[in-house]
Amino acid sequence: MKRTQINPWRWQDVFGFSQAWKIDGEGSLIVISGQASISAEGAVMHQGDFCAQARLTFENLQLVLKEAGASIGDIVKLGVYLVDMKNLLDYSAVQGEFFKGPRPAQTVVQVSSLALPGMMIEVEAIAVI
């Protein structure tokens, strides 16, 4: 399977995302529900600490990908939901800890609340293997 990054401009590099990915060939599509800073027991973790929540969110995303036979590098699209857009730069920095090289296409939006009280971030993903 061939994956080609599509970036007609360079400004998105500053913000750490790709405009699009073109996927050619045969493979499997993995669609991942929103992941958050949730423990294995279902409790919201790191309430009030955005960076810690973002890290656990990506760790949980990695675990789901592993169960599906994929890795974080197979992600082509992220949907990111933040309770406060003031955390966007911190989000980008934490994301950079997990993604080495070109980052996936993504959309980041601010929402008034998430599924459980105390959640500050939720990330859904599409991966191709």
CATH of residue 124: 3.30.1330.40
Mean pLDDT of the chain: 91
7: DSSP letter: -
In the chain, the percentage of residues whose pLDDT exceeds 70 is 99
Each residue's pLDDT tens digit, 56-112: 999 999 999 999 989 999 999 999 999 999 999 999 999 999 999 889 999 999 999
Which residues lie below 8 Å from residue 89, measured CB to CB, with a gap of 6+?
A: none
Structural domains of the chain, count: 1
Residue 88 tokens, joined: 């966007």
The range of the structural domain enclosing residue 40 comes to 2-128
Which residues lie below 8 Å from residue 2, measured CB to CB, with a gap of 6+?
A: 23, 24, 25
Give the pTM. Answer: 0.86
Q: Cα dihedral angle (101, 2, 72, 108), rounded to 10 degrees? A: 80
Residue 75 tokens, joined: 């992600």
- Average pLDDT (35-43) is 92
Q: In terms of DSSP bridges, do strands 75-82 and 105-110 run parallel, antiparallel, or are they unpaired?
A: parallel
